[in-house]
Amino acid sequence: MLRAGFIKRLSSGVYTWMPLGLKILRKVEKVVREEMNRIGALEMLMPSVQPSELWQESGRWEFYGKELLRIKDRHERDFCYGPTHEEVVVDAVRRDIKSYKQLPLSVFQIQTKFRDEVRPRFGVMRSREFIMKDAYSFHDSYESLAKTYDDMYGAYCKIFTRLGLKFRPVAADTGSIGGTGSHEFQVLADSGEDIIAYSDESSYAANIELAESKPEKVSRDIAKMSLTKVATPNEKTCFEVAQMLNIDLKHTVKSLVFESVDGSPVLLLIRGDHELNEIKAGKLKELKQPLSFSKLEDIQASFNCSPGFIGPVGFNGVIIADRDVNLMSDFICGANQDGYHLTGVNFGKDCKEPDLVMDLRNVVEGDYTPDGNSQIKLCRGIEVGHVFQLRTKYSIPMNLSYLDQNGKSQFMEMGCYGIGVTRIIGASIEQNNDEKGIVFPVAMAPFEVVLIPVNLAKSELVKNSIERLYSTLLADNIDVLLDDRNERIGSLLADSELLGIPYRIVVGEKSLAENKVEFYNRKTGETQLIDINQISELVKNQISNEKK
């Protein structure tokens, strides 16, 4: 994008949108706006600078953390640059909407947000300042919310389809926005930062943060082995221990120590070949939030050994086991003594039963979907949209209420729905490019057609023909660019390909001799000679075909 001159970096994670980039941005906005209008959402515009009082009300002034850019005005009053607008929209709506007769209501805006990311990267994909379409809906019942949620879901599918993206809606965690139900719209791309668990055989799809699998077994096998201590002087990880003992990683258990609310250590047990899912662990009320691993000294103090040799045997604190670990028998774990591990360990016999058993791990490829009918595959994705059922998460603390038919005050049900407008552009380029540059779909391209003259300066014929053609195309409402820069033909052609303009018309004396021009399709790479009088019609048809 930088190379094509769409954006310029001003500061870490902050970009200027140059004229061509802005044209793309506006096209994306147009599609989003049209689909929002179609489902009856009303456009509004909220301020980007927001007073801290509202955020105190919702409780997010403390909760949101460092991503919230906080600023002070000249009177030393606290403000923030809006990372999202639940607080503001609730405030606007609660002043106006008093009766069930005014519900449901959906509003949206397309506006700049700021999130002070720890580490912005991938240009516009994870920037600190970005443009987002955020919509909010208000209801007098869950049924009404569910209906709007479905409408939004449908509108999102339409938007991403119209923009030519290969995407997948997936079940998702609600993160810092909060609420009950939620789907993400993920654009499939290897460079994506999210991992999606999905199945080819069923409609199952979920973000790995949330994805659950069906446990492999239903009950624990009978213990056959007895507890044995083995020396593992240099083997700290499960992988190293398994390798040394020449056994499957599946028979090892790794022990992770976390701080609990009162500061005492809590032991989490995960099978050696699995990974802890921090989102799932983060929901454990036994653990201190945000999640923090115990410090080295604390581990030394409570286990009398260094990390790498920890295990549940002899530990009296809280033990939380992953479902799969709970069903293991004769497993291998640390001996709580430096340089030793234990084999043939069994719950109930060698150590106490876990205090709590739950799903704590990331799903892996080959796991079964929760219904057990199909196998899970993993792929990477870029989150471009997210819809939430907020329910009363904000209405209650911020006292957003209406009078129902009986004149009684009730809290509103809320939904919120976001699309990363700027991120969509990055994601699209990620998905549609080749060695020559970008291949934009018509709906997003900065121009639909580019006109390139051969030897404009020298040839009156070319000059007259191309200018006439340019006017014709404009008159036909085609978004056309006449590239009349005094560059060599090679640069003009190469640039048009780099920019990803879907169609190109080359006008030169050679073909004009037969009254024809060259028509080139960026996506297919096909070139054909077309009569100059028919070209406008052809372009119009091509464009409306692609837009469908």
Partner RNA sequence: CGGGGCGUAGCGCAGUCUGGUUAGCGCACUUGAUUUGGGAUCAAGGGGUCGUGAGUUCGAAUCCCACCGCCCCGACCA
Q: x/- contact string, 94-133, with RNA (CB under 7 A)?
A: ------------------------xxxx------------
Among residues 41, 189, 257, 320, the one that binds RNA under rule CB under 7 A: 257
Cα torsion through 506, 507, 511, 513, rounded to 10: 170
Length of the chain, in residues: 548
Cβ 453 to RNA shortest distance, Å: 9
CB of 511 to RNA, least distance (A): 5
Radius of gyration for the alpha carbons in the chain, expressed in angstroms and rounded: 30
Using rule CB under 7 A, residue 439 touches RNA: no
Closest CB 299 distance from RNA, rounded Å: 6
CB atoms closer than 10 angstroms to residue 476: 13
Q: Any contact of residue 426 with RNA (CB under 7 A)? A: no
Closest listed residue to residue 35, CA positions, set 85, 102, 88, 110: 110
Q: Nearest-CA neighbor of 357 among 251, 280, 249, 293?
A: 280
Decide: is 310 part of the binding site for RNA (CB under 7 A): yes
Nearer to RNA, 278 or 371 (CB): 278
User: Phi and psi at residue 7, in whole multiples of 5°?
Assistant: -135, 160
Task: Say which residue the tokens 């000679």 belong to.
Answer: 529
Query: CB atoms < 10 A from the CB of 172, how many?
Result: 24
Q: Which residue in 37, 102, 292, 533 binds RNA (CB under 7 A)?
A: 292
Residue 207 touching RNA (CB under 7 A): no
For RNA, the closer CB: 163 or 321: 321
Residue 166 binding RNA, by CB under 7 A: no
The answer to the question of residue 12 lying near RNA (CB under 7 A) is yes
> Does 325 sit near RNA (CB under 7 A)?
no
Cα separation, 70 vs 173, in Å, equals 26
Using rule CB under 7 A, residue 338 touches RNA: no
Q: Is 72 in the site for RNA (CB under 7 A)?
A: no
Among 489, 524, 486, 533, residue whose Cα is nearest residue 503: 524
Among 70, 214, 436, 540, interactor with RNA by CB under 7 A: 436
Q: Element (H or E) spanning 516, and its range?
A: strand 516-521
Angle of CA points 194, 373, 367, to nearest 5°: 45
Q: Is the dihedral of CA 201, 204, 205, 210 positive or negative?
A: negative
Indicate the residue among 246 and 405 with the shorter CB distance to RNA.
246
Do 501 and 444 meet the contact criterion of CB atoms below 8 Å apart? no
Using the rule CB under 7 A, which residue among 210, 284, 506, 535 binds RNA? 506
What are the start-end ranges of the E strands in 23-68? 42-43, 49-51
Q: Rank residues 191 and 226 by Cβ distance to RNA and give the closer one.
A: 191
For residues 120 and 424, give the distance between their C-alpha atoms in angstroms, rounded to a whole number.
Answer: 16
In terms of CB distance, is 507 or 530 closer to RNA?
Answer: 507
Phi, then psi, of 385 in degrees rounded to 5: -150, 155
Select from 169, 215, 307, 397 the one that contacts RNA (CB under 7 A).
307
Q: Of 62, 297, 490, 526, which lies in the binding site for RNA, with binding defined by CB under 7 A? A: 490
| Smallest distance from RNA to CB 490, Å | 2
- Asked whether position 495 contacts RNA by CB under 7 A, the answer is yes
Cα–Cα dist 480/478, whole Å: 6
The only residue of 30, 468, 510, 547 in contact with RNA, by rule CB under 7 A: 510
Say how many residues touch RNA, by CB under 7 A.
53
Q: Is 236 in the site for RNA (CB under 7 A)?
A: yes
CA distance 87 to 394: 8
- The yes or no reply on residue 491 touching RNA (CB under 7 A) is yes
Binding site for RNA (CB under 7 A): 9, 11-13, 118-121, 236-238, 254-257, 270, 272, 275-276, 278, 292-296, 299, 307-310, 334, 436, 454-455, 457-458, 488-491, 493-495, 497-498, 506-511, 518, 520
